[in-house]
Each structure stands twice: as structure tokens, then as C-alpha cells.
């Protein structure tokens, strides 16, 4: 994916809105319904370069580093003149970027730019899913709300396989790789098992590795062809859920009530009570849940926490 993405027709009307959403894959996806709710006549999204292909609703998508936004507010550093001119073309700028950078906020205030700063993370201890938190933020600005379930429209092929992605952004959130290997051997008699790597990831020594896709949307469309996806609390697990794939997500140190992927066909397995160690999730428990999920007809109407 290039530093600058596509142009697509916007909604009726002349309002121009910029949405600035930093963060990793999962951070972008849990806020996707809120961003779609904020769509205006022309909507531009600035985000991490790897997430640009997921902003399917946007009129244009750009990588934050390519805009020069990081330079705004830095002491003794003049931001690119083109950046200020471009920011002035928007009627509304909704930003999850810079809310914790007082010098950035002051620079925006001094320039008189139409920014609405929103907290990038839900408050600790607040019993609310992150997607609902972001939707509440959006509703206060847009004057409307929508279902807070991330969805990506992906064509479905006629393949039939189990997808496994054994990584995440933190080793603490990873089920042991050797357990994934053992799980693959147990599931292989039922369906082919393919190991999934995100674009740009280092090669994994495993069995049948799915060829890398050009971008994350391409990966979402590959995952949409799987009968079942199994993975940790990771951005790719959120991606599989948004693509409509049956998902078995393994959670330990993070709270699934706030951060679990959402979808019509998501099941979450948590570490046993009193333990946050992913090693405490047994192979038998995951294999049993996976086989039950494979044989269940149709799609479950709700996410299930198990």
C-alpha cells in the first residue's frame, strides 16, 4: 500500500472532514464503525500506512508520516507550509492523534484550526467495549449513531481451510507456538490448516504458510474464505472478525469485555480465573472449542465469551 490511497465518491453535501486515527491494526478496526459514522460529503483519513487499505469508506486515505503532521508543535521546528494550507481546507478535523501532546494542541489552537480532540483510549476500569466508547465519541459530533461492529466487505471464495495466526503485538498475549503446532496437527484431518502472516512479517517455520498479501484488505479477503480462524488478541484476529470469518480468539492479560473482536461469529476463550498466563489455556480446551465451532451450522448471532 502506498503512502497515499484511493479517491472514491463521498456522500452528498459539501462538508469536508478529516479523521486522524493513529495506532495499530486492532486500534484502527475497533474505531472503524465510529469513523464510518463520522463520514461527511468528503472524508479523508490519515492513519498508519499499514491501515490505509482498511479505510474503504474514505474519499482519500494518507499515511500520517507522509503529511508532516508529526512536526506540528515541535519546539524550534517549522511544520511544512503545505500541511497548514491543507488542514485549513477542512471544515471539521476529528483527531485521536495529539490528545496527549499539549504542544500539538496549543499549535492547533494558535492556528485556529477546526480540531475536535478525542481520547485515543477508553478510561481504565470503565466497563465498556472500546468500539462502543468510540461510537459514543462519534455520536456526540455527528448527531447520529450506528451499530458498533467493525465490518469489511470481502468477496468470499470457495476454499475451505482453517487459518492460524499465532502472533500479536506482545509476547504476553501469545499462546505458546508449540501448542499452535500441536493444534494444527489435531485439526489437519478435518480441514487443511494454513498459517497466516501479516504483510511484511518475517517468515515462520511451519507447515502450509499462506502467501503474503499486498495489504491488510487483501489479507481480510483471504481470511473471509476460511472456515475458521484461530489466533491471539491481535490486530489480525480483529481483521478476521471484521471480514465475517468464524473466529476463535484466545485471551489472557487483556480484558475481552473491552478488547475482544466483535462479530456475528466470534468466540473467545479466556485463561482460567486467577491466571493471566496464556500457557494456562490447555491444548484440549482449544481443540475442543475449535472442533465444536467447525461443526456448528450457520453463524452465531452474537459473540460468545467462553
- Measured between alpha carbons, how far is residue 116 from residues 37, 137, 257, 277 in Å? 15, 10, 27, 39
Q: What is the pLDDT of residues 130-174, one digit of tens each?
A: 999 999 999 999 999 999 999 999 988 768 899 999 999 999 999
Q: What is the pLDDT of residues 208-252, one digit of tens each?
A: 788 788 899 999 999 999 999 999 999 999 999 999 999 999 999
71 has a pLDDT exceeding 50: yes
Rounded mean pLDDT, 193-206: 80
Q: What is the pLDDT of residues 31-46, one digit of tens each?
A: 999 999 999 999 999 9
Q: Does 1 or 279 have the greater pLDDT score?
A: 279
pLDDT, residue 192, reads 95
Q: What is the pLDDT of residues 78-122, one digit of tens each?
A: 888 899 999 999 999 999 999 889 999 999 999 999 999 999 998
- Give residue 275's pLDDT band: very low, low, confident or very high (50, 70, 90): very high
Q: Which helix (H) or strand (E) holds 239?
A: helix 235-242
Percent of the chain surpassing pLDDT 70: 91
300 has a pLDDT exceeding 70: no
pLDDT, residue 298, reads 58
Residues for the chain: how many in total?
A: 306
Q: Please report, in angstroms and rounded to a whole number, the separation of the first and last CA atoms in the chain.
A: 37
**Which of 55-64, 119-128, 296-305 has the least mean pLDDT?**
296-305
54 has a pLDDT exceeding 90: yes
- CA–CA separation, 145 and 138 (whole Å): 7
Domain borders along the chain are: 16-142, 162-305
pLDDT, residue 202, reads 67
**CATH architecture type of domain 16-142:** 3-Layer(aba) Sandwich (3.40)
pLDDT, residue 295, reads 85
- Cα 223 to chain centroid distance, Å, stands at 14
- CA–CA separation, 35 and 21 (whole Å): 9
What one-character-per-residue DSSP string does 3-43 give? SB-------SS--EEEEEE-S-HHHHHHTHHHHHHT--SEE
301 has a pLDDT exceeding 70: no
7 has a pLDDT exceeding 70: no
302 has a pLDDT exceeding 60: no
Rounded mean pLDDT, 47-54: 98
Q: Judge if 16-142 and 162-305 fold alike in CATH terms.
A: yes
pLDDT, residue 206, reads 67
What integer best gives the mean pLDDT of the chain? 90
pLDDT, residue 12, reads 40
Homologous superfamily, domain 162-305: Glycogen Phosphorylase B; (3.40.50.2000)
- CA–CA separation, 146 and 130 (whole Å): 14
Number of neighbouring beta carbons within 10 Å of residue 91: 13
Rounded mean pLDDT, 284-305: 73
- CA–CA separation, 60 and 153 (whole Å): 18
Residue for grid cell 504476553:
172
- CA–CA separation, 130 and 279 (whole Å): 26
Percent of the chain surpassing pLDDT 90: 77
Amino acid at each position: 500500500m502506498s503512502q497515499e490511497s484511493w479517491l472514491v465518491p463521498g456522500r452528498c453535501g459539501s462538508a469536508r472532514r478529516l479523521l486522524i486515527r493513529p495506532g495499530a491494526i486492532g486500534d484502527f478496526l475497533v474505531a472503524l464503525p465510529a469513523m464510518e459514522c463520522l463520514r461527511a460529503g468528503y472524508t479523508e483519513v490519515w492513519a498508519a500506512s499499514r491501515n490505509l487499505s482498511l479505510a474503504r469508506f474514505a474519499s482519500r486515505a494518507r499515511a500520517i508520516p507522509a503529511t508532516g503532521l508529526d512536526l506540528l508543535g515541535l519546539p524550534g521546528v517549522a511544520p511544512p507550509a503545505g500541511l497548514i494550507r491543507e488542514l485549513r481546507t477542512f471544515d471539521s478535523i476529528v483527531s485521536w492523534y495529539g490528545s496527549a501532546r499539549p504542544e500539538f494542541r496549543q499549535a492547533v489552537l494558535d492556528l485556529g484550526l477546526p480540531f475536535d480532540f478525542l481520547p485515543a483510549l477508553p478510561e481504565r476500569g470503565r466497563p465498556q467495549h472500546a468500539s462502543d466508547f468510540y461510537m459514543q465519541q462519534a455520536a456526540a459530533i455527528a448527531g447520529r449513531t450506528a451499530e458498533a461492529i467493525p465490518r469489511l466487505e470481502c468477496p468470499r471464495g470457495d476454499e475451505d481451510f482453517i487459518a492460524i495466526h499465532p502472533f500479536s503485538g506482545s509476547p504476553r498475549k501469545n499462546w505458546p507456538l508449540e501448542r499452535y503446532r500441536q493444534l494444527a496437527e489435531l485439526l489437519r484431518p478435518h480441514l487443511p490448516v494454513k498459517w497466516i502472516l501479516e504483510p511484511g512479517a518475517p517468515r515462520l517455520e511451519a507447515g502450509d504458510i499462506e502467501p503474503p498479501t499486498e495489504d491488510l484488505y487483501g489479507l481480510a479477503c483471504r481470511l473471509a474464505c476460511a472456515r475458521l480462524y484461530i489466533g491471539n488478541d491481535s490486530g489480525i484476529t480483529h481483521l478476521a472478525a471484521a471480514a465475517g470469518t468464524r473466529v476463535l480468539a484466545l485471551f489472557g492479560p487483556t480484558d475481552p469485555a473491552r478488547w475482544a473482536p466483535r462479530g456475528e461469529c466470534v468466540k473467545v476463550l479466556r485463561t482460567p480465573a486467577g491466571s493471566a498466563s496464556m500457557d494456562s489455556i490447555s491444548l484440549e480446551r482449544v481443540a475442543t472449542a475449535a472442533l465444536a465451532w467447525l461443526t456448528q451450522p450457520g453463524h452465531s448471532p452474537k459473540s460468545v465469551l467462553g
